[in-house]
Amino acid sequence: MRSTPHVSSDPRRTLPKHRAGGVRATCARVRGQGDPPRAAEVDAADTESPLDLWEKAAEIGLTHYMLPEEYGGGGITDLTTQALVQQELCYGDISIGNFLTSNGFFAGPVEALGTDAQKKRWLGLLCSDQPPITALATTEPGSGSDAASIQTRAVRDGDHYVLNGQKTWISNAPYAQYFVVFATVDPSLRSRGVTAFIVPRSADGLTVGQPMPKHGQKGIVNAEVFLDNVAVPVEDRLGDEGAGFYGLMNTFDASRILIGASATGLARAALDTALQYAHEREQFGTPIINHQAVAFRLAEMAAKVDTSHLLTMRAAGLFDQGVSATQEAAIAKLVASENATFVASGALATHGGWGYSREFPVERWLRDAKLEEIEEGTSDIQKLIISRSIAK
């Protein structure tokens, strides 16, 4: 695993001279840079996750490397190392990389709120030889960034709760065998009413809608989840009533840092490919890397890649020290996600018209990058978090 913060392509190294065959031949030689064979296939499938890759990843412990050894996980519980792993996976393909580690979203609330017995049961299941695919069910049609306004109701009825509501844009929903569902015991309490529950897919009254086509990152499939008088035993509540919002925010701090790492991995792949292409593609009798307009664009792209990496590592380091890293996580997520879009756009511009073609990975990276600005809180929400933090 590479852990170096900079791009792997060195613009000073000797590269092959431009050979005969025109621009299509040039593109063909560099099209595989940072683009594994399955990435384009998964993108073309649109609403199908690569389940065979999930099985292979599970065999080597990649789906649960981040969970404690005591439950059968890989024991790599520090966020700094996790961010490096995430960056490398997403250098290959951000859609597949994020899918293979998506059980971390389910595990987060369990680790933050669960009893010892719950952790042993659920984290142990995630670390089994055939771990289930899971999902975090938070977002609702009327509740996205404002998680405190969740309307899905949880009403206590003896030794169980009855859940009613609708969730939307739930990652992994078409395949998930278990959900962490966030509901409120009293909407008037806002964040103090939010409570987390583990709900199996097999529960009576739980149904999943059709896969939702997306602009990018198609290896992670989203769908709506409907809860119609779903009975959940009290022992499957995570933490006390009203503790769910804390567990969700704790999960968001970590996940936003990992999104920063994912975005950095994508940006590195885009920069590497653009550098390679700029050395091989000739115009006006010289490789385009020798044209200042192209060289300056690549320089700015490289600066943004390094900025993203360093901000992500800073946030991860503070998180690992037990220091509140909400502001730093928001900064890392904001900057790295927007930088990824900038770098992917710059890579497309460097490739010219061929960057716009679906024959090559560059346009896909631009589509994939945009999601990083939206999920786990949009850029506007990150700015809101940062502004409130610095105002204190």
Catalytic residue set = 376
Angle at 148 between CA 144 and CA 149, to 5 degrees: 65
Q: How far apart are CA 35 and CA 73, in angstroms?
A: 29
Which residues sit opposite 315 in a β-bridge?
Answer: none
How many C-beta atoms surround the C-beta of residue 387 within 10 A?
A: 11
- Give the Å distances, CA to CA, from 242 to 162, 246, 318: 16, 8, 27
CA dihedral 208, 105, 85, 95 (to 10 degrees): 30
In sign, the C-alpha dihedral spanning 164, 168, 174, 178 is negative
C-alpha count within 13 angstroms, C-beta hemisphere, residue 360: 27
CA dihedral 237, 239, 245, 249 (to 10 degrees): -120
Helix axes 79-92, 292-320, angle to 10 degrees: 150
Q: Report the DSSP pairing between strands 178-184 and 134-137.
A: parallel
Residue by residue, DSSP assigns 87-147 as: HHHHHH-HHHHHHHTTHHHHHHHHHHH--HHHHHHHHHHHTSSSPPPEEEE--BTTBSS-G
In sign, the C-alpha dihedral spanning 151, 378, 197, 219 is positive
Given a contact cutoff of 8 angstroms between Cβ atoms, the answer to whether 88 and 1 are in contact is yes
CB-neighbour burial class of residue 298 (10 A; exposed 0-12, middle 13-18, buried 19+) = buried
- Give the Å distances, CA to CA, from 284 to 21, 26, 174: 16, 16, 52
Q: Reduce the DSSP state of residue 162 to 3 states and report it.
A: strand
User: Per this entry, what is the length of the chain?
Assistant: 392
